[in-house]
Amino acid sequence: MKELLYSAAQEIGIKLNDIQLEQFQIYYKMLIDTNKVMNLTSIIAKEDVVYKHFIDSIVLKNYVDISNSKVIDIGTGAGFPGIPLAIIYSSTNFTLMDSLNKRIQFLNKVVKECNLDNVETVHSRAEDLGHNEAYREQYNYCVSRAVANMSVLLEYCIPFVKKGGKFISYKSGKADNEIAQSANAQKKLSCAYSTEYSFYIPNTDIARKFVIFNKTGYLSSIYPRQAGKPKKNPL
């Protein structure tokens, strides 16, 4: 796996050192082994994990510099993109949040085995944690690779971003309609569409996109709304 990942990372202009490659190897083995007893990912072939999970997560480095900052990953699932980013950004502090405790327990083991002292995990729903003062508007960046409508994602994620910070959404290649339809959510959540970067995952025909929003002001205390409402009734 190490040789494949090293070569794949070089394809996108990122050079991984021996320590990072070992951390990815440990993560890969734990992901595959745990996936046999817990549903973490449907992507299990070695090449697919390398390109569709690891490379897809770290390619952000080519577009946004998140070094020496605070980053929260909302709906991290099996740890994407948070764990791969934490491996390549040792000077950045990461918070990984997920609503399923079994996944958080898995990530705690990964963090320990990979010696990732720049990562904390939180078991919570975004709608609840977004009102916790220890996390609300405390981050330079929020990232999310979760599958949800953009208006819903904004209500989940923007509450964690400081004024002047950014929310970075990992999206499929087609997100134009979602962006347009999120105009009302942007207005109510004190954020604004900034830019987007389109790319293909190397060695695949999968089109991907980073959609970036700037946090332009402080958030009204009514957001995020109580659990379930953002998804049932998007802004």
- Is the pLDDT score of 20 beyond 80? yes
CB 64 within 8 A of CB 140: no
Give Cβ neighbours of residue 54 (< 8 Å, ≥ 6 apart): 5, 8, 24, 28, 84
CB 37 within 8 A of CB 103: no
d(C-alpha 227, C-alpha 104), whole Å = 19
Torsion angle, alpha carbons of 225, 230, 234, 235, to 10: 30
Q: Give the confidence band of 175 by pLDDT, cuts at 50, 70, 90.
A: confident
Q: What is the pLDDT of residue 164?
A: 97
* Average pLDDT rounded to a whole number, residues 26-38: 95
For 37-96, give the DSSP string. TS---S--SHHHIIIIIIIHHHGGGGT---TTSEEEEET-TTTTTHHHHHHH-TTSEEEE
Give the chain's mean pLDDT: 95
pTM to 2 decimal places: 0.96
Q: What is the pLDDT of residue 43?
A: 86
| Distances from the Cα of 110 to the Cα of 26, 102, 128, angstroms | 8, 13, 25
Pick the CATH number of 2-232 from 3.30.70.20, 1.20.120.1200, 3.40.50.150, 1.10.1060.10: 3.40.50.150
Q: Could you report the per-residue pLDDT of 116-165, keeping only the tens digit for each?
A: 999 999 999 999 999 999 999 999 999 999 778 999 999 999 999 999 99
